[in-house]
Structure formats: structure tokens, C-alpha cells
Amino acid sequence: MLIGVPKEIKNHEYRVGMAPASVREAVAHGHQVMVQTNAGEGISASDDEYQAAGAQIVSDPQEIFASAEMIVKVKEPQANERAMLRPGQILFTYLHLAPDPDQTRDLVESGATCIAYETVTSPYGGLPLLAPMSKVAGRMSIQAGAYCLEHPHGGLGMLLGGVPGVDPAKVVVLGAGVVGTHATHIAVGMGADVWVIDRSPEVLEAHWQQFGRSTNTVFSTRDAVERHVLEADLVIGGVLIPGAAAPKLVTAEMVRAMKPGAVIVDVAIDQGGCCETARATTHAEPTYVVDDVVHYCVANMPGGVPRTSTYALNNVTLPHILTLADKGYRQALKDDAHLRNGLNVHEGNVTCHEVAQDLGYNYVDPETAID
């Protein structure tokens, strides 16, 4: 199979779909790989390294989209990339379609087979292709929040961990999943007063077993969310409903009642955000202020640390890239129900139930769609 790896063009996106080591594996399986010039620049991987791994270097992304049987990316295709997709072509990348009707429409009209990293599942539970980036984003959320709490950046002027004799910041983490757990790791390490809110007693029990008395766990109710958000210096939004838009746990009314200078880092912004006042921002302009509350809502947070992110992502995507290339998408999806769960759009049909429900499309079961 001919695999194409274009350079990412989203604002301040420096990750790349395949690192040189991944290209080498694909070539060893008998496949061809086309990589756009300087695609690996953000991870310090030169064109020479890609060529040494067996890739063909191509300067024009149009040539990649026109020739490749499978496009491997990181972020959702931008409008000009979507226009180059064609029927029968595989797109393997993050999509986050539920809050993005324009992208969904374009992918449906393209006729391509679009497999989303974020809805591929695992026999062990969870979302294995989303988890590495959730780990990175969770850890980055505390770094970003600590930065935004500094007075020159609009914050309260608090040091996250305080000092002896002075209280640390109160950090409220909404969701004790992968994002929340890794945010908690960093917040605890920095000495913050950490409160974790989740709706699953089992998840809270596991969290307590992991962190003990270094954190406080709270069962999620409207009352609990409101009470702790209003007391918070830093709120981390890490809730996720697989494939669907994130629930709006933090209302505009709550934001108005928060402390002036408090900070919200909405990691769930890829899925529309869990705060009503959240809107997607970029690494170029990461923050804005609503009712004196600083909002950090960068939609591709892991893109800020592309080297770590790319290699972490490739560790989990490479086996699926090889399976799709070795077997072809139809057989690969028939053989693996968990990979099949990643199929979001196929030949003009929406095959992810949550996306169809959120955006008003007729849902077609993936197994039926590929027959």
C-alpha cells in the first residue's frame, strides 16, 4: 500500500503522523511511504532521516493526497485537505467530528473511509489511541494553568504550590480519567490542594487508592461541581464521552461567580469543551478572559510538545497502520471490532452513533457499511 504523510498545517501544530522509525517498519512490511518535505521538522526529524528509513520525500501535498491509498495524519484535515480526499482513500487521524459539522459534511461528501484515532477501542477497555495525548494534555494542563495564574498573564498572582506559611492554589479537576489522573500527578507534585470530581464511585475509589490523602475525591453532582468550581483557583476540564460532544458541566453563571483571576483549562475543547464559555484557541493566542476568568482552551495542546507527543502517539497507532496497510481497510475492519469502532465516516455514511446523533445524520452500523 502507498501511505502518505503530509505536513500538518493547523496553527502551531508540529506533530507528524509517522516518525522515521514508523516509516521504517512500514517499508519493512513491503509498503511505500510518501512524506512531505519538512513534515518532521517539529520533532527534529530531517528529510534525510525519512529517506534513510525508506520514505520518498515529496514537496507538494497535492501529490500525496492524489497518490496515497492511505493518509496518516495527527489533527483533523483542514478544509483544503478535505477537498483533496477521494472515494476509496483511507484517512487515519484524529477527527473529533461531534462538535464539527463542517468537517463532518466534507468527509461525508468526499466518499473517503475515515477512521478516527479517538474512537478506536481496546479489549482491555478505554481508548488506547486517545490515551497518550490525554496523558500529555493532562500534564500540560497544570503547567499551562500555573502559568496563567501568574499576575502578568491575567491570573490571581498565585504560586500553584504556595510556600511555607502561605496557602497553595486550590485545583479542581473535573473527571478522573486519563486527563484527570495525569493532571493530578503534576498538581500533587507541585504541591497544590487538589480536588478531583467524578461521577463513578469505582473510578474515585481507584483514584484514592493511587493518590491516597494527597488528593480529595468528590462524587459529581451539580451541587458539588458548582461549590468546588466557585472556590477554585484553577479548574481543569477533563471530561469525555467517547465520540460525543463534552457535557457542559461549568455554566456561564458559574463562571460569572468565580474568583476574578481564576483560571479554567478546558482540555475537553477538542470535543466542544465542558465549560459553556469555552471556545477553541491556538498556541499563538492561547487565552482569553470572560467575566475576569482566564480561559485556556488550546485545541491541540500536545502539539506544543511535538517530539514527546509524536513518539507517544506512534507507539499506539503504528500497529493499526500496519494492519490497515497489510490487509486493506475492509479486511482489517472485519477482523478487528475495536479498530472497526474507529470508523466514523465511510463512503458517504456516518458510522459513529454519537456523531450521527449529535449532528442529525442517519447512522449506519460500521459492520453493515463495509460489507
- Which cell numbers in the block locate residue 162? 504556595
Q: How far is CA 234 from the centre of its chain?
A: 21
Report angle CA 251, 254, 259 to the nearest 5 degrees: 140
Grid cell locating 331: 479486511
- For the stretch 31-60, pLDDT in tens is 999 999 999 999 999 999 999 999 999 999
What span, in angstroms and rounded, lies between the C-alpha atoms of 329 and 136? Answer: 29
Output the pLDDT for position 89.
98
Three cell numbers at 341? Answer: 469502532
At residue 12, the pLDDT reads 85
Confidence tier at 149 by pLDDT (50, 70, 90)? very high
For residue range 284-297, what is the model confidence (pLDDT) as tens digits?
999 999 999 999 99
Number of Cβ atoms within 10 Å of the Cβ of 123: 8
Task: Please write the tens of the pLDDT for every residue from 179-189.
Answer: 999 999 999 99
Among residues 96, 295, 320, 346, the one annotated as catalytic is: 96
Is 186 in contact with 178 (CB distance < 8 Å)? no
Return the number of other C-beta atoms located less than 10 Å from residue 48's C-beta: 10
Asked whether 194 and 186 are in contact (CB, 8 A), the reply is no
pLDDT band, very low/low/confident/very high, at 109 (cuts 50, 70, 90): very high
CATH of 131-299, one of 3.30.450.40, 1.10.1060.10, 3.40.50.720, 3.30.70.3000: 3.40.50.720
Q: Which CATH class is domain 2-119+305-370?
A: alpha beta
Contact predicate 29/325, CB 8 Å? yes
**Kind of pairing between the strands at 90-93 and 113-116:** parallel
> How remote is the C-alpha of 214 from its chain's centroid?
27
| Full-model pTM | 0.89
For 60-105, the pLDDT digits (tens) are 999 999 999 999 999 999 999 999 999 999 999 999 999 899 999 9
HEC readout, the chain = CEEEECCCCCCCCCCCCCCHHHHHHHHHCCCEEEEECCCCHHHCCCHHHHHHCCCEEECCHHHHHHHCCEEECCCCCCHHHHCCCCCCCEEEECCCCCCCHHHHHHHHHHCCEEEEHHHCCCCCCCCCCCHHHHHHHHHHHHHHHHHHCCHHHCCCCCCCCCECCECCCEEEEECCCHHHHHHHHHHHHCCCEEEEEECCHHHHHHHHHHHHHHEEEEECCHHHHHHHHHHCCEEEECCCCCCCCCCCCECHHHHHHCCCCCEEEEHHHHHCCCECCCCCECCCCCEEEECCEEEECECCHHHHCHHHHHHHHHHHHHHHHHHHHHHCHHHHHHHCHHHHCCEEEECCEECCHHHHHHHCCCECCHHHHHC
Grid cell locating 280: 477553541
Catalytic residue among 233, 270, 336, 358: 270
Residue appearing with cell numbers 470572560: 290
User: What is residue 194's predicted lDDT score, i.e. its pLDDT?
Assistant: 98
Q: Which residue has the cell 478487528?
A: 336
Instruction: Determine whether 176 is exposed, middle or buried from the number of CB atoms within 10 Å of its CB (0-12, 13-18, 19+).
Output: buried
Active site residue 266: no
pLDDT digits (tens, 9 = 90+) for 308-357: 999 999 999 999 999 999 999 999 999 999 999 999 999 999 999 999 99
Active site annotation includes 270: yes
Give the start-to-end residue ranges of the domains of the chain. Answer: 2-119+305-370, 131-299
Cα dihedral 212, 180, 306, 6 sign: positive
CA–CA gap between residue 274 and residue 290 (Å, rounded): 15
Per residue in 234-282, pLDDT tens?
999 999 887 778 899 999 999 999 999 999 999 999 889 999 999 999 9
**Which amino acid is residue 268, in one-letter code?**
A
Which pLDDT value is given to residue 282?
93
